[in-house]
């Protein structure tokens, strides 16, 4: 039996009574043993949920997995890598030149290779993302060690295919065993340009991924406190019948179709259940995604930054669509259910899609242009990156479904012998801290506020420690920085040597190592400023970069949808901003 006390040090009275009968001259009636008095106390713990995480397999040293021009790593089989897609008739693959950070193959079968030494025996997996371009183009990914048959990954060409991740694995058996990666493809000539197999994001890892499930720790935990009356140890034998519910979860298969409303309120415009999990569904942002009545009109660089910064439904995977994804979005916008190429010959425009021109993230064959599409006529063409065109972010998503739970009841009988020991009460309080943010030294994403208060403009968590992130200086960088003998203002232009020297002396939140940025880092930073990212500027000024053009420095300007390169001598007075890698 129980009572609830309501004040501190409140007394309770225990009364025990019974009637005994005389049986053959002996008292044989009610017997009582093992008396105890127990109270419960509530200890408060900070509620916390530790989300499910996947610990990735250990990355191996793969040179130039981003396929960056001039970064090396990959070699041709009997020839030197060139710019195979610069003009018709050139037959060597392009390493980061036809399309940034991608390997593009030319008109005939070609192959590139790289050999990597694996320190410890075990499973080794190579993966790469493949686009098969504007026409169906076969390709092959091969991984081979020193004493096993080569493992090949091959995908049937489909034309305008969704990007696919192709993975192959081998198992090494000795220490420091070399493995060889071979990539090959055939490209088709499309409207006078070489536009075929493209490969991006190569990764070589050892071991397998380990998934840690989601754990939720409740905000309030009740811990019993035991008050000892008489310390006793007793043994008893009892038979107990228990009835308990059994919950079963029926499997749920999520199905969606083109035209459904996605998790972020925009339309589901592409579904392919034959694609790998994670790339089966695509949704577009709603037409008012930027806060206005319709999409904004931005330059190409600003459009990429704005799409990457969008956080509809809290997702961080929004991006400017590729040329192929934009074609699929056009098919949906024109309500076309057959065919693979968007054109004015079929369908009518849906509500929520103006008939203007939309940017894609794909470069054209001219470095100053990128592919764009006019939805009203289904026309795709190379357009100057300086123009102000429509922006509609897209993303892949995995739908969430609520499982159906049924409850049944089962009855069981058990006989057990138990020993009970009354122990001294213990009350504990536990507080679990939340994971640190990027600013507190945790993992960072592009657009996050960094440890110094600036903006993260580049993030690669798989890179070596110390080179995973690039952070711009905070906006306080504009204020004066005191130093012995002079007080320069970072808002005032300086020659190249002075800018380098001032940055070497700059420190914020105890963090040093500041430097001038590359032109690409400036483009990312100023483009993000046009999109309203915190910790960035869009002030219409040119800034020093470390790029060199014919012995002169390149200053870069990005403002009001106009991207301009300025060439300056080192003695010229130019604005500058600090960046650091960590």
Equal CATH topology for 58-207 and 278-397: no
Q: Give the number of other CB atoms < 10 A from CB of residue 361.
A: 21
Look at residue 98 in the predicted model and tell me its pLDDT.
66
CATH number of 58-207: 2.60.120.260
CA 82, 83, 88, 91 torsion-angle sign: positive
The answer on pLDDT for 372 being more than 60 is yes
Look at residue 320 in the predicted model and tell me its pLDDT.
96
10-14, 259-263, 377-381, 430-434: lowest mean pLDDT where?
Answer: 430-434
Does the domain at 278-397 match CATH 2.60.60? Answer given as no
Res. 24 pLDDT band, cuts 50 70 90: very low
The answer on pLDDT for 501 being more than 90 is yes
Mean pLDDT confidence for 523-551: 71
Mean pLDDT, rounded, of the chain: 74
For β-strands 233-250 and 404-421, DSSP reports them as antiparallel
Mean pLDDT confidence for 438-445: 84
Instruction: Count Cα neighbours of 466 within 13 Å in the Cβ-side half-sphere.
Output: 2
Residues 158-196 have pLDDT tens digits of 454 567 778 888 898 888 889 998 888 765 444 334 556
Take residue 163 and report the two structure tokens written for it.
């990007």
Mean pLDDT confidence for 307-336: 92
Instruction: Count Cα neighbours of 202 within 13 Å in the Cβ-side half-sphere.
Output: 29
Burial 126-136, CB ≥16 within 10 A → b, else e: bbbbbbbbbee
CA atoms of 525 and 346, how far apart (whole Å): 41
CA distances to 285, 322, 366, 402 from 388, rounded to whole Å, are 19, 18, 18, 43
pTM of the predicted model over 0.75: no
CA atoms of 160 and 340, how far apart (whole Å): 8
E strand segments, 163-272: 164-172, 177-185, 189-190, 193-194, 198-206, 210-212, 215-217, 220-227, 233-250, 268-271
58-72, 310-324, 493-507: lowest mean pLDDT where?
Answer: 58-72
Between 417 and 224, whose confidence is greater?
Answer: 417
H helix and E strand count, the chain:
4, 37
Res. 150 pLDDT band, cuts 50 70 90: confident
Residues 233-266 have pLDDT tens digits of 444 444 555 555 555 544 445 567 899 999 888 9
Between 133 and 122, whose confidence is greater?
Answer: 122
Look at residue 406 in the predicted model and tell me its pLDDT.
47
Look at residue 540 in the predicted model and tell me its pLDDT.
64
Domain ranges of the chain: 58-207, 278-397, 438-581
The answer on pLDDT for 132 being more than 70 is no
Take residue 190 and report the two structure tokens written for it.
């499309």
């Amino acid at each position: 039996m129980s009572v609830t006390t309501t004040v501190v040090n409140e007394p309770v009275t225990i009364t025990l009574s019974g009637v005994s009968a005389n049986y053959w001259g002996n008292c044989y009636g009610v017997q009582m043993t093992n008396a105890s008095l127990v109270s419960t106390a509530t200890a408060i713990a900070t509620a916390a949920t530790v989300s499910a995480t996947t610990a990735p397999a250990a990355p191996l040293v793969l040179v130039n997995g981003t396929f960056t021009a001039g970064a090396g790593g990959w070699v041709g089989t009997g020839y030197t890598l060139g710019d195979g897609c610069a003009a018709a008739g050139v037959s060597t693959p392009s390493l980061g030149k036809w399309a940034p950070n991608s390997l593009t193959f030319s008109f005939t079968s070609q192959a590139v290779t790289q050999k990597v030494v694996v320190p410890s025996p075990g499973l080794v997996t190579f993966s790469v993302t493949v686009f098969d371009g504007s026409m169906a183009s076969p390709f092959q990914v091969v991984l081979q060690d020193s004493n096993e048959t080569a493992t090949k990954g091959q995908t049937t060409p489909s034309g305008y295919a969704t990007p696919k991740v192709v993975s192959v694995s081998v198992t090494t058996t000795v220490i420091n065993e070399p493995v060889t990666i071979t990539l090959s493809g055939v490209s088709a000539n499309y409207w006078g340009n070489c536009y075929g197999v493209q490969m991006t994001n190569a990764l070589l890892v050892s071991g397998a991924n380990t998934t840690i499930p989601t754990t939720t720790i409740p905000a309030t935990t009740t811990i019993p406190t035991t008050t000892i009356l008489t310390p006793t140890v007793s043994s008893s034998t009892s038979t107990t019948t228990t009835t308990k519910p059994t919950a079963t979860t029926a499997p749920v298969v999520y199905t969606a179709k083109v035209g459904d409303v996605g998790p972020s309120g925009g339309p589901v415009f592409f579904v392919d259940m034959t694609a790998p999990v994670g790339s089966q569904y695509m949704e577009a942002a709603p037409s008012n995604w930027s806060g206005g009545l319709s999409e904004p009109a931005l330059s190409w660089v600003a459009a990429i930054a704005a799409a990457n910064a969008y956080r509809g439904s809290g997702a961080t995977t929004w991006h400017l669509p590729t040329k192929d994804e934009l074609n699929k979005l056009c098919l949906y916008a024109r309500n076309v259910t057959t065919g693979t190429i968007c054109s004015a010959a079929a369908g009518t425009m849906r509500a929520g899609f103006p008939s203007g021109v939309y940017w894609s993230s794909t470069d054209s064959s001219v470095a100053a242009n990128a592919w764009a599409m006019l939805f009203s006529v289904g026309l795709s063409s190379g357009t100057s990156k300086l123009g102000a065109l429509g922006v509609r972010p897209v993303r892949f998503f995995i739908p969430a479904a609520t499982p159906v739970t049924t409850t049944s009841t089962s009855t069981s009988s058990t006989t057990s012998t138990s020993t009970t020991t009354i122990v001294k009460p213990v009350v504990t309080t536990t507080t679990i801290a939340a994971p640190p943010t990027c600013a507190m030294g945790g993992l960072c994403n592009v657009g996050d506020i960094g440890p110094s208060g600036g903006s993260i403009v580049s993030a690669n968590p798989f890179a070596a420690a110390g080179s995973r992130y690039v952070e711009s200086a905070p906006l306080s960088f504009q204020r004066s920085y005191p130093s012995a003998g002079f007080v320069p203002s970072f808002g005032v232009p300086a020659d190249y040597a002075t800018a380098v020297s001032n940055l070497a002396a700059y420190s914020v939140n105890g963090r040093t190592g500041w430097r001038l940025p590359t032109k690409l880092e400036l483009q990312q930073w100023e483009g993000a400023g046009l999109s309203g990212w915190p910790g960035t500027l869009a002030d219409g000024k040119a800034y020093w970069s470390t790029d060199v053009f014919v012995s002169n420095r390149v200053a870069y300007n990005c403002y009001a949808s106009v991207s301009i390169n300025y060439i300056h001598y080192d003695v010229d007075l130019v604005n500058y901003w600090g960046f650091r890698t960590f």
